């Protein structure tokens, strides 16, 4: 018995030692994966900053506030692309968030069961369409329609209004920041609505059934049960769509107009950081020109990082309040 006991004890010790070694290897592997993400992010940011150092040294802080973009005279400024990027993304989110919210609620609370699968599959297919297809559709279908029917009406009826009228004055070209915002909204709707739908499905059925049993309407259940329960995840999905809108390139390039001047009108052509880089990177015939384009990429990196950081802090604040 003593020999058998010793043998069994040795086998147990060997198994424990092997399990401990495997556990340490697994911990090292996943830790390396986590640090790989951080190193990649840091390397990307530093490489773009280093590539744009000549532009930052030449123009200083004025690079952020200047509207100049003259490759002949070697004068470059980032204000117009930054403005166009922020405005088009804001337009996209103003359109996409309510529509995505409605789609997610329809699929989870209102629609018949047989309709949920086909609509959900259609949303996923929209998310998989390449951005250049959206850009071509926007250029050949959306731009002519807006230029003939929508923009003239906006200029005539909304343009004379005080304050907001300046946003809708201009020639009905069809291309411009409003068109780019519409295309971006169509592109990010599948992402935001998919996230919202999945988080709405996590709400316990008993909570909703209890609310209905107490006489609550569907609207009351949504506002008092579904949204409070999923608020953090919904905000995260919205900022995920915003990150996609800020960095979109090809679709925006097709319909934005790529005109490098600052305007308050949403109907006039503009420019964005991604579109500027895509259009002019192969034409950069001087070190300062190339450095200015890389500096724009660094600024887009910083803007996206700030937006996602704000989302993270908002989610942390919501979690703390929910915990309290």
The predicted-structure confidence for 61-70, as pLDDT tens digits, reads as follows: 888 888 888 8
pLDDT at 322: 60
The arithmetic mean of pLDDT across residues 1-26, rounded, is: 69
CA distance 139 to 175: 8
Distances in whole angstroms, Cα of residue 184 to Cα of each of 96, 164, 202, 280: 9, 22, 28, 21
Average pLDDT, the chain: 85
Residue 81 · residue 296 · CB < 8 Å: yes
pLDDT at 144: 92
| 271 pLDDT higher than 80 | yes
Range of lowest pLDDT (135-139, 152-156, 219-223): 219-223
pLDDT at 219: 83
pLDDT at 92: 93
Share of the chain above pLDDT 90, in %: 18
The DSSP annotation for 51-108 comes to HTHHHHHHHTTHHHH---EETTTTEE-SHHHHHHHHHHHHHHHHHHHHHHHHHHHIII
Give the list of residues 6+ apart from residue 73 with CB closer than 8 angstroms, or none. Answer: none
Residue 87 · residue 181 · CB < 8 Å: yes
* pLDDT band, residue 8 (cuts 50/70/90): low
CA distance 174 to 179: 7
* pLDDT band, residue 10 (cuts 50/70/90): low
In tens, the pLDDT along 139-194 reads 999 999 998 988 889 888 888 888 888 888 888 888 889 999 999 999 999 989 98
| 113 pLDDT higher than 60 | yes
Residue 246 · residue 304 · CB < 8 Å: yes
CA distance 164 to 171: 17
Which tops the pLDDT comparison, 283 or 288? 288
Give the list of residues 6+ apart from residue 71 with CB closer than 8 angstroms, or none. Answer: 280, 283, 284, 285, 286, 289
CB half-sphere exposure, 263, CA atoms < 13 A: 24
pLDDT at 194: 87
Residue 289 · residue 71 · CB < 8 Å: yes
| 98 pLDDT higher than 90 | yes
pLDDT at 158: 87
Range of lowest pLDDT (159-168, 261-270, 299-308, 315-324): 315-324
Task: Mark out the alpha helices in the chain (DSSP H runs).
Answer: 2-51, 53-59, 62-65, 79-105, 113-128, 131-137, 143-145, 151-153, 177-200, 205-213, 218-221, 227-247, 250-255, 273-280, 287-323
pTM here is 0.84
CA distance 112 to 120: 13
In tens, the pLDDT along 26-50 reads 889 889 988 998 899 889 889 989 9
In tens, the pLDDT along 248-264 reads 888 888 999 888 888 88
| 22 pLDDT higher than 90 | no
| 1 pLDDT higher than 60 | no
CA distance 101 to 90: 17
The arithmetic mean of pLDDT across residues 78-99, rounded, is: 92
pLDDT at 189: 92
What residues pair up with 70 in beta bridges, in sequence order?
75
| 276 pLDDT higher than 80 | yes
Residue 249 · residue 58 · CB < 8 Å: no
């Amino acid at each position: 018995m003593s020999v058998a006991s010793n043998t069994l004890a040795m086998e147990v010790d060997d198994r424990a030692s092997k399990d401990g070694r495997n556990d340490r290897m697994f911990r090292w592997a996943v830790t390396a994966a986590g640090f790989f993400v951080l190193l990649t992010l840091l390397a990307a940011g530093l490489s773009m900053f280093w590539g744009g150092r000549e532009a930052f040294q030449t123009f200083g802080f004025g690079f952020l506030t200047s509207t100049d973009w003259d490759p002949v005279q070697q004068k470059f400024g980032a204000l117009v692309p930054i403005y166009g990027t922020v405005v088009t993304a804001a337009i996209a989110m103003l359109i996409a968030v309510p529509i995505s919210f409605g789609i997610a609620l329809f699929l989870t609370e209102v629609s018949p069961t047989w309709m949920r699968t086909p609509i959900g599959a259609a949303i996923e297919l929209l998310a998989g369409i390449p951005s250049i297809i959206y850009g071509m559709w926007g250029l050949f279908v959306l731009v002519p329609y807006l230029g003939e029917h929508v923009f003239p009406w906006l200029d005539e009826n909304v343009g004379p209004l005080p304050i907001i009228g300046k946003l809708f004055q201009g020639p009905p070209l069809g291309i411009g920041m409003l068109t780019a915002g519409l295309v971006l909204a169509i592109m990010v709707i599948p992402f935001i609505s998919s996230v919202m739908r999945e988080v709405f499905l996590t709400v316990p059925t008993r909570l909703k059934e209890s609310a209905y049993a107490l006489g609550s309407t569907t609207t009351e259940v949504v506002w008092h049960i579904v949204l409070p329960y999923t608020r953090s995840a919904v905000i995260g999905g919205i900022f995920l769509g915003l990150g996609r809108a800020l960095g979109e390139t090809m679709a925006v390039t097709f319909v934005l107009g790529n005109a490098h001047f600052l305007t308050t009108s949403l109907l006039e052509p503009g420019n964005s950081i991604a579109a500027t880089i895509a259009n002019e990177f192969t034409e950069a015939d001087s070190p300062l020109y190339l450095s200015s384009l890389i500096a724009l990429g660094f600024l887009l990196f910083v803007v996206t990082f700030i937006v996602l950081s704000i989302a993270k802090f908002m989610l942390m604040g919501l979690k703390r309040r929910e915990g309290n």
